[in-house]
Amino acid sequence: MAGIWLDVLDEIARTCREHGRGDLLQAVRQKRAQLLDPTLRVLVVGEPHQGKSQLVNAIVNAPVCPVGDARATVLPTVVRHSETATAVVVQAPPPTPDRAAGTALPATAERTVVPLDRIAAGVAGTFGRRAGGGPAYVEIGLPRALLAGGLVFVDTPGTDEVGALGAGASVAALSRADLVLLVSDSTRELSVAEMNVLLHVSRAHPNVVVVQTKIDLVPDWRVVAERNRRHLADAGVPAALIPVSAALRLRAAAVDDRALNAESGFPALIARLQGDLTGKGDVLARATVGLTARTVVEQLAAPLRAELESQRVEEQSGPMSRLHAAQREVDELRRCSTRWQNTLNDEMADLLSDIEYDLRDRTRQILRMVDDAFDSADPLTAWDAFQEWLDRSLVEAAEANHEWLVQRCDHAARRVAANFARYGYDVLPPWSMHVPDDLADRLPELERPNVDRFTATQKVITGMKGSYGGLLMFGLAMTLAGMPMINPVSIGAGALFGGKSIHDESKQLLRRRQATVKTAIQRHVDDFFVRTTKDCRDTARQVQRLLRDHFSVLTDELQEGIVQSLRTAKQAADTDAAAREQRQREITLKMTRLAGLYEQAQQLTAARPAAVPLEPRV
């Protein structure tokens, strides 16, 4: 089987050479050497603190990668087989104009031996790396039968940015990986940043696996795993998902417990690794060649299509008219670039302002209803029912606000994409926005306000204070009439004044309780407003960055094609009709060959079996 895909790959290399694309030819040659290499290079990527280093440790059953909150992976760590345990920091010379950063390390790379007890310092970049030097990585050799079969692991620094993948040492480059493991823990579903990374990686890699770690810490990890599988299916990412627990794996290895090892999920992961290693020369190679052919054909065909279309227009309007039209396209592209950037900035600024105003208006309506309710209600008796109503009202306000945010983001994306309609590039980026399901869990906790109660003792004291004045006043007045101070009239007046004092004090305490509750609810609603506004702003900025990056790439592609068309137009202005016809025949022939090459490469993967989701045994 190797001969078939190898012939196709060699044909792709010859095609790159014929088209004068030295960059593509170099990439194809590197891919050829990579596929012929019997080792399987496994690149471990993911956001920080997701368990990447612990995953590698659990696979090889050795603490080769430092873990812990206080330790961070700064340099890529390569773990491969050796007869004895070794650790070396490999650092290239500083990049030069003829050797840019990110290319393969030269033979003159500096190698510094790291004591085994200083591996953590080496990975953190504080030991063995020379200041001012070029990219560096840590290479660890380990005597393990699993590694002896040809597995090589590359533990990368944590990042949630697509552009940061493969930065630094070329050993961590995505193009050199045979298998990409994206690590995400079970405490949450896949984030937007992780989905962006998966979409980016899956376009260039046929072999991507999502490893869901820390299942021992989350009782409902199966629910999270199922939701993640749905996210992958909805986004069109052909990646398997394998839940594992590194802690259970290491514990099982320490006590030689096969059942615990099976529960950890690692047998499924290791089986996948060994299967990919065995099938590298067949299934993996055929899929890789198919993806390589698609990438090469797209890059080679794009300028050919642009040139062929320009040749056809030239036949109708003449070389000079076509040259002027190409110049107008360049100017129009500049204006289009300015328009879409202004549209994006204006839409996002209006969105942030409107979303904040909408939430403020909803919270004001809630506060007005609170004021109306507690103008008459007593917090001592109505608090429980009111708190339930308030939580429900705030959740409804947050859901309505987030739903409007989703609609406005989609509207902004379509407004920006409309600027590219004339080029046929009005395609929205692959994304999925929805109202979060955990808005109720995000509500700040509302504590019951401490309000004063009018106790029986306080009523007695208040009544005695009020009755004393009435008794004294009427008693003295009655003594003028010759009656004793304490008589039925003065006693009745005292009782009347005491009752009025109790009534007035009760009303005053009620107003004080109402004011206290209103103040507490005002603070609670303000806290809710600040948190919800922060979440909406963060989401809007993420969308803005996604749209900016997507349409910047489209602008660059358009600019490259239009500039190429302009150069072709200048050439065509100096040629005659016979030369243009000859060129059209050549382009058509090249396009036909490219189409045949693409079809030949796709036939390699026509019978490729579908991936089966793996899950640890219960």
**How many Å separate Cα 565 from the centre of its chain?**
37
Location of structure tokens 């873990």 = 67
* Boundary (domain end) residue, out of 513, 532, 547: 513
By CB atoms closer than 10 A (0-12, 13-18, 19+), residue 468 is middle
Distance CA 96, CA 94 (A): 6
Spell 80-109 as b/e; 16+ CB within 10 A means b: bbeeeeebbbbbbbeeeeeeeeeeebeeeb
Q: What is the largest CA-CA distance in the chain?
A: 141
Q: 224 pLDDT exceeds 90? A: yes
Same domain, yes or no: 446 and 460:
no
Higher pLDDT, 245 or 503: 245
Number of domains forming the structure of the chain: 4
Backbone phi, then psi, for 211, in 5-degree steps? -105, 115
Same domain, yes or no: 70 and 166:
yes
Assigned domain for 597 exists: yes
Query: What range defines the domain where residue 548 resides?
Result: 317-450+516-574
What is residue 164's predicted lDDT score, i.e. its pLDDT?
Answer: 47
Distance CA 250, CA 230 (A): 30
Per residue in 42-78, pLDDT tens?
Answer: 999 988 888 888 899 899 988 888 887 656 678 888 9
Assigned domain for 170 exists: yes
The continuous run of DSSP H or E covering 465 comes out as: helix 456-479
Same domain, yes or no: 178 and 189:
yes
DSSP per position, 328-363: HHHHHHHHHHHHHHHHHHHHHHHHHHHHHHHHHHHH
| Distances in whole angstroms, Cα of residue 476 to Cα of each of 50, 66, 455, 602 | 86, 92, 32, 114
Assigned domain for 85 exists: yes
**How many Å separate Cα 399 from the centre of its chain?**
21
Dihedral sign for Cα 518, 523, 525, 526, please: positive
What is residue 450's predicted lDDT score, i.e. its pLDDT?
Answer: 62
Assigned domain for 338 exists: yes
What is residue 609's predicted lDDT score, i.e. its pLDDT?
Answer: 42
How many other CB atoms are there within 10 angstroms of residue 165's CB atom? 18
Location of structure tokens 């600040």 = 530
Task: Provide the pLDDT confidence category of residue 30 given band limits of 50, 70 and 90.
Answer: confident
Per residue in 324-367, pLDDT tens?
Answer: 677 777 787 788 888 888 988 998 899 889 888 988 898 888 88
Same domain, yes or no: 219 and 122:
yes
387: amino acid identity, one letter: Q
Higher pLDDT, 579 or 522: 522
Assigned domain for 252 exists: yes
308: amino acid identity, one letter: L
Report the Cα–Cα distance between both ends of the chain, in Å, rounded.
Answer: 38
Backbone phi, then psi, for 402, in 5-degree steps? -65, -40
| Six-digit token string for 572 | 């065509």
| Distances in whole angstroms, Cα of residue 457 to Cα of each of 453, 460, 461 | 11, 5, 6
The stretch 369-395 carries a mean pLDDT of 78
Element counts in the chain: helices (H) and strands (E):
16, 9
* Boundary (domain end) residue, out of 467, 484, 513: 513
CB 4 within 8 A of CB 605: no
CB 154 within 8 A of CB 43: yes
Same domain, yes or no: 1 and 19:
yes
The continuous run of DSSP H or E covering 42 comes out as: strand 40-46
Q: CA-based angle 441:48:170, to the nearest 5?
A: 150
How many other CB atoms are there within 10 angstroms of residue 130's CB atom? 13
SS3 88: strand
What is residue 59's predicted lDDT score, i.e. its pLDDT?
Answer: 92
Q: 97 pLDDT exceeds 80? A: no
Same domain, yes or no: 68 and 193:
yes
Same domain, yes or no: 235 and 110:
yes
Distance CA 506, CA 453 (A): 9
Per residue in 98-119, pLDDT tens?
Answer: 554 445 555 577 888 888 888 8
Assigned domain for 240 exists: yes
What is residue 123's predicted lDDT score, i.e. its pLDDT?
Answer: 80
- Give the rounded percent of residues in the chain with a pLDDT score beyond 90: 15
How many other CB atoms are there within 10 angstroms of residue 288's CB atom? 23
| Distances in whole angstroms, Cα of residue 517 to Cα of each of 380, 437, 530, 582 | 10, 30, 20, 86
199: amino acid identity, one letter: L
What is residue 523's predicted lDDT score, i.e. its pLDDT?
Answer: 85
Which residue in 272, 263, 289, 274 sits closest to 210, CA to CA? 272
Distance CA 340, CA 413 (A): 10
Assigned domain for 119 exists: yes
Higher pLDDT, 469 or 269: 269
Assigned domain for 504 exists: yes
Per residue in 171-195, pLDDT tens?
Answer: 557 778 889 999 999 999 999 988 9
Same domain, yes or no: 293 and 382:
no
What is residue 122's predicted lDDT score, i.e. its pLDDT?
Answer: 77
HSE-CB of 115 using CA atoms within 13 angstroms:
2
Question: Any idea what the CATH number is for the domain that residue 72 is in?
Answer: 3.40.50.300
| Six-digit token string for 117 | 């007890």
Same domain, yes or no: 32 and 50:
no
Same domain, yes or no: 140 and 160:
yes
Same domain, yes or no: 233 and 262:
yes
- Give the rounded percent of residues in the chain with a pLDDT score beyond 70: 78
In DSSP terms, which residues pair with 88 in a beta bridge? 113, 139
Distance CA 459, CA 466 (A): 11
SS3 311: helix
Same domain, yes or no: 327 and 366:
yes
| Distances in whole angstroms, Cα of residue 114 to Cα of each of 63, 119, 124, 476, 591 | 15, 6, 12, 103, 54
CB 546 within 8 A of CB 196: yes
Which residue in 136, 118, 130, 131 sits closest to 74, CA to CA? 136
